[in-house]
Amino acid sequence: MEVVIAPAEELARLAAGAVEGLLRAKPDAVLGLATGSSPLAVYDELARRHKEGLSFARARAFMLDEYVGLPADHPERYRNVIEKEIASRVDFPPDAVQGPDGLAADLPAACAAYEEAIAGAGGVDLQILGIGTDGHIAFNEPGSSLASRTRIKTLTRQTREDNARFFGGSVEDVPRHCLTQGLATIMEARHLVLLATGRAKAEAVHQLVEGPVSAMWPATIMQLHPHATVLVDDAAASRLQ
Ligand code: F6R
């Protein structure tokens, strides 16, 4: 696992540079997209690079996770967030960006179909990740099986409190359930690029980099990945030895 400590703007450039390098070498690459605050500067940088000629016209992308039950037009539905923050700003082909269907009548079937779609696309080449203050990646909360696949999960109170800022500050408005790629699903991506900034992430980053691999800090499974890049600012790195 390579750990880079740098200012947030530099981290965004490094992550965008990894995506650009991949797309230039493999224009039909499969990207893995995260939501939340952490990747926003990366998406800004990718949108900027797209204006300078970086093309996503042959690429595809899979989202990490989705809330269960948010109406199709809800601005915080992750499908809509990804559309706004990156998909609509670059030239992905129509329907090239997929996410788990949090409105499916049969959620387990939707999860299985999502796994098949990722596998059918040949797997994810580069997965962008954030990390929760409780150490989750995607929505694999503490206690998630290290062998987990895409499934329904219950969000922890801590995650719902962390995400209340996207719902007008109301924890009660944050959905209780989500569909998320599993840890084993994520580990099959060929390159993992995790971004973390701010002191609130310091404990999770400490566990990720220096803790024992444990389902109680799910991101620690990244220690077993052959190509994992962890991009952190000084505050997020403040508990590293
Ligand atoms: C979002 C996701 C989550 C976030 C994490 C950090 O798709 O998978 O794991 O990456 O909750 O969120 P932010 O970046 O908002 O601190």
- Rounded to an integer, the average pLDDT of 163-176 is 97
Residues known to be catalytic? 65, 134, 136, 141
d(CA 106, CA 158): 27
User: Domains of the chain (ranges plus CATH)?
Assistant: 2-232 (3.40.50.1360)
The one-character DSSP state at 64 is: S
Report the pLDDT value the prediction gives residue 15, as an integer from 0 to 100.
Answer: 98
Contacts of 234 (CB under 8 A, 6+ apart): 5, 7
**pLDDT tens figures, 185-215:** 999 999 999 999 999 999 999 999 999 999 9
Residue 18's nearest CA partner among 131, 82, 4, 188 is 4
Share of the chain above pLDDT 90, in %: 100
| ipTM value | 0.99
What is the 185 CA–ligand 1 centroid distance (Å)? 17
Give residue 40's pLDDT band: very low, low, confident or very high (50, 70, 90): very high
Task: State pTM to two decimals.
Answer: 0.98
In short, whether 34's Cβ falls inside 6 Å of ligand 1 is yes
What's the one-letter identity of residue 141? E
* Strand partners for 194: 129, 230
**pLDDT tens figures, 86-119:** 999 999 999 999 999 999 999 999 999 999 999 9
SS3 4: strand
User: For strand 65-67 and strand 151-154, is the pairing parallel, antiparallel, or unpaired?
Assistant: unpaired
